Amino acid sequence: MRQQIILSASLAGALVLSACAEKADESVERALQEVNVIDESNLNDVMLNVADPNEAVAHFQRTIRNSPDRIELHRGLAHSLTRAKRNTEAAVAWKQVVSMKDTTSEDRVHLAGALVRSGAWDEAKAELDKVPPTYETYERYRLEAVVADANKDWKRADSFYEIAVGLTTTPAKIMNNWGYSKLTRGDFTGAERLFGDAIRQDQSLFTAKNNLVLARGAQRNYSLPVIPLKQTERALLLHTLALSAIKQGDVKVGENLLREAIATHPQHFEEAARSLAALENG
């Protein structure tokens, strides 16, 4: 009888130990899964922010094959394609994202951006029209302005540029874009003002400096503006002014500006020298 009791007790103990072992195994498995998720998440972040964009594309494509329903992986692929400047593929990837559950307005704005970069202006506008008016971000209104510009809807473009400027703490580039829009319309004074505003926000933005000189040259104002300039920048802007003058028939002024540009540049200014030689040779 005692042997039976001991045997029963031993069997019960074995069952308890077995159950405990199973629970322990389950706990270990859950812990490993959590670690894997964390590791994968960290790897995804690295791929998005540090890795070569084409390597990141390959990583997300591999990962999606194993987990095709995870929207964050499709976002990672779309972002990586954008970083790699594979714009047509990026647009396709963002279309996949917006077709999935849990998509956001931000995803649709990213899709619109990819469509703009791939030249699909009408599609981009259609996607932006689907974004609710309550979703107000710098990127949304920057794209709205660019699309309105492409459609020559100047009133809407100006409105969207103004909103975008108010939604960023670094407005120099959007001011430059707005100024270039004014320049292409022939509003040279408005363009000059915006380029000047952009330079005050970011004195290193050479594109705005060059555009400012174009706006002044279009008004036959061939003097350099009073802005911070390095010696090489000064020479390049004198060259831009010279070409602007020549284009408008002020050839002698252009010739003198070319000579000044060559003398100002700290090294041999081949492009200006060729332009001057072409003028001198008729």
Q: pLDDT grade, residue 40 (50/70/90)?
A: low
pLDDT at 29 over 50: no
* pLDDT value, residue 46: 77
pTM, to two decimals: 0.80
Least Cα distance to 82 among 53, 124, 45 occurs for 53
Token pair of 164 as six digits: 């975008």
Dig out the tokens for 68 from the structure. 């095709």
Please calculate the CA angle 255-247-180 and round it to the nearest 5 degrees. Answer: 120
CB 124 within 8 A of CB 116: yes
Contacts of residue 86, Cβ cutoff 8 Å, sequence gap at least 6: 57
Tens-place pLDDT, residues 75-114: 999 999 999 999 999 999 999 999 999 999 999 999 999 9
What average pLDDT does the segment 11-17 reach? 45
Report whether pLDDT(202) > 80.
Answer: yes
Q: Is the pLDDT of residue 179 over 70?
A: yes
Is the per-residue pLDDT at 20 higher than 50? no
Does residue 250 register a pLDDT over 50? yes
Overall average pLDDT of the 191-211 stretch: 97
Backbone φ, ψ for residue 221 (5° rounding) = -100, 105
- What pLDDT band is residue 33 in, cutting at 50, 70 and 90? very low
- With 60 as the cut, is the pLDDT of residue 32 above it? no
Written as six digits, the tokens of 3 are 């042997």
At residue 142, the pLDDT reads: 98
